Structure 1
């Protein structure tokens, strides 16, 4: 179902369609064995690619603001400064040229942009990836599936 939503999002979004964004999931960012160090277990094949990935925003340019252009994208809901951060290969430092709306902490969002492998200290956590953001796409609040009508 996630893949269908990603494909529909890509078709609706004309700037991404022109860029041919590749939809990825968090597991794609850590392709090696779980025994490998997170700092080196990154996906070299994604370096320089335009991708789209769902996640949760943790603003780095001020908490409580309605907009941000500098944030961490995380795989888990409710990531904040009070919890231990995800491993570097599960954190993306995202920077947009223009601010985007900050959803609630419980609301995921699709972020599309050009992904780079770049280890850095970003805010409270070490990141393994950097993304120059192209577009933020609201995550559907509810997915309605087409069910055949029940006949008696």
Structure 2
């Protein structure tokens, strides 16, 4: 299975290692607790709400001015997507895909972390609350759309880049390639 086939579930189960540690009497605080992309979206935010009643636009040809107006409005809503204030300053670990912003010899030093393959590159950017601008202390030798785990302290900070508007930022402490769990 290639990195392109990796799927990240919306809700993850408790980590097996955590259950084993608790069962053996060894209690270890997880340095960077794993979160889901849903944790970055306010529970009451409905990105489709501003577009109720506009379903017929999808039946129009792309050349129709109403389609262009729809996409312009969609970008406005998504680029201003609300964030979760409680995430500010939280230490987190999150899987996603790497979209390079700044590369030097040896790898990527700044990138967008996005929840699904093709976001910002082959597809329009996701809502700002689903994009994290990440800076690394040393180059990460990975390619565009590599699946990665990123650990660090999350900040609620809106940034604009050539690839999309992010609602969060992170100075990564650790970036590692995502590996598929071994089949049982």
TM-score (norm 2): 0.62
| Aligned-partner Cα distance in 1 for 2:171–2:179 | 23
| Aligned-partner Cα distance in 2 for 1:77–1:5 | 24
Is the counterpart of residue 44 in structure 1 residue 85 in structure 2? yes
Is the counterpart of residue 83 in structure 1 residue 120 in structure 2? no
| Aligned-partner Cα distance in 1 for 2:16–2:164 | 28
Structure 1: 5+ residue stretches without partners:
12-16, 146-152
- Partner residue of 2:172? 133
C-alpha contact (below 8 Å) 1:110/1:139 kept by paired residues: yes
| Aligned-partner Cα distance in 2 for 1:133–1:93 | 10
Structure 2: 5+ residue stretches without partners:
1-8, 22-27, 51-76
| Aligned-partner Cα distance in 2 for 1:89–1:140 | 25
Question: 1:7: how far off?
Answer: 5.6
| Aligned-partner Cα distance in 2 for 1:52–1:6 | 16
CA separation of 1:99/1:122 partners in 2, compared to 1, >3 Å: closer, same or farther? Answer: same
Q: Is the radius of gyration larger for structure 1 or structure 2?
A: 2
CA deviations 1:88-137 (Å, max 9, x no partner) are 000000001111121462x4111001100001102321110001100012
CA separation of 1:98/1:62 partners in 2, compared to 1, >3 Å: closer, same or farther? Answer: closer
Matches within 5 A, 1:63-102: 67-102=107-142
Structure number with the higher strand fraction is 1
TM-score (norm 1): 0.74
Is the counterpart of residue 24 in structure 1 residue 35 in structure 2? yes
- Partner residue of 1:108? 147
Pick one of 145, 157, 160 that aligns with 1:121.
160
